[in-house]
Amino acid sequence: MANASARTRVPLVAPRVPIHDGDVARLVHTFYARIRDDAELGPIFEARLAGRWDAHLAKMVDFWSAIAGETGRYSGRPQRAHGGMGLDEAAFARWLALFEATARDVCPPDAAAFLVDRAHRIADSLMIGLGIGPQALDLPA
């Protein structure tokens, strides 16, 4: 990988560890409270989610519970949800930095490492789908 050394990455792969539902709920609620306060990301989320934050938070608890514990509680279309917002690599970097800081604040270290690892992988996949980021694909039209 030619550009691997230029990228700031968490160590891959963090192994699956037991994660308590309480940690997931606390992570999601604290993370989105910080997102809403963030000068860069707050307005992007608010533009989409004004009036329906409660449903979003419930969905995100299900999403992260599914990743943490393979509960299968989430079914949705994350790729489609992120189109049309003009997201760029910097926005994802900010999202990941906030997520990582929050996970380390509210979860035990091994749980935080696991969740941050998965967040990076999913962010990469979302960015690939959106055609942005270091792994953006130059697909034929």
How far apart, in whole angstroms, are the C-alpha atoms of residue 121 and residue 110?
17
- Should residue 27 be labelled a site residue for ligand HEM when binding is judged by CB under 6 A? no
Nearer to ligand HEM, 18 or 53 (CB): 53
User: Shortest gap between Cβ of 85 and ligand HEM (angstroms)?
Assistant: 6
Q: Which of 31, 32, 95, 114 binds ligand HEM (CB under 6 A)?
A: 95
How far apart, in whole angstroms, are the C-alpha atoms of residue 60 and residue 78?
11
Two tokens at 115?
Answer: 């969740």
Beta-carbon contacts of residue 63 (< 8 Å; ≥ 6 apart)? 74, 76, 78
How far apart, in whole angstroms, are the C-alpha atoms of residue 111 and residue 16?
8
Token pair 């949705």 is found at: 76
- Should residue 77 be labelled a site residue for ligand HEM when binding is judged by CB under 6 A? yes
Q: How many CB atoms lie within 10 A of CB 117?
A: 18
Q: Which of 44, 57, 101, 128 binds ligand HEM (CB under 6 A)?
A: 44
Q: Which of 33, 58, 81, 136 binds ligand HEM (CB under 6 A)?
A: 81
* Chain contacts with ligand HEM (rule: CB under 6 A): 41, 44-45, 48-49, 56, 59, 63, 76-78, 81-82, 85, 87, 91-92, 95, 119, 122-123, 126
